[in-house]
Structure 1
């Protein structure tokens, strides 16, 4: 079970890398006001959602204790990210504020995962 959990954690990290990488590649365009949500951002957020839910299930099945408040906060942030990226995915230009919120929430989600014990 431990190997499966580690594989799913790896996939979860790939998802966050895709989301954050898509954001970082659009930073220059954001300052010019022409940023858009690239498909990698949507796919990364969806990967995070699926693997995150799988991790909760696998850890519960392996009798690990889970911090449900932390998981709820991370899920809430991810739903906001996913909602913004999904709704505005076809727009040619996304407002700086919306784009910044996605980047900020993505970074916040990373630090919550690392620092909240």
Structure 2
């Protein structure tokens, strides 16, 4: 079971990297012709959602304790991120505030995962 959990943790990190990497690659475009939500950002957020849900289920099946408040907060942030990326995915230019919110919420989600024990 530990190997399966570790595989899903790795995939979860790949999703985070896709979302945050897409954001960081568009940072210089905010001042110029406008940033946009890339398909990789949407796929990264969806990967985070699916693998996160799988991780909760696998940890509970392995009789490990799961902090449901932490998972709830992370899920709420991810749903907001996913909603923003999904709604703005077809726009040529995204408002800097919306784009910045996606990056900030993603970063907060990472810090919650790492620092909340």
TM-score of Structure 1 vs Structure 2, range by shorter chain = over 0.9
After TM superposition, the runs of 4+ consecutive aligned structure 1 residues lying more than 4 A away are none
Q: Tell me the equivalent position of 2:105.
A: 105
Measure the CA separation in 1 of the matches of 2:49 and 2:67.
17
Name the TM-score, length of structure 1 as normaliser. Answer: 0.99
Measure the CA separation in 2 of the matches of 1:55 and 1:78.
15
Measure the CA separation in 2 of the matches of 1:23 and 1:46.
15
- Report the Cα offset of residue 30 of structure 1: 1.2
Q: Is the 8 A contact 1:33 1:95 kept in 2?
A: no
Measure the CA separation in 2 of the matches of 1:112 and 1:16.
13
Name the TM-score, length of structure 2 as normaliser. Answer: 0.99
Q: Tell me the equivalent position of 1:11.
A: 11
SS in 2 for 1:63: coil
Q: Tell me the equivalent position of 2:31.
A: 31
Gaps (5+ residues) in structure 2? none
SS in 1 for 2:31: helix
Q: How many residues align?
A: 117
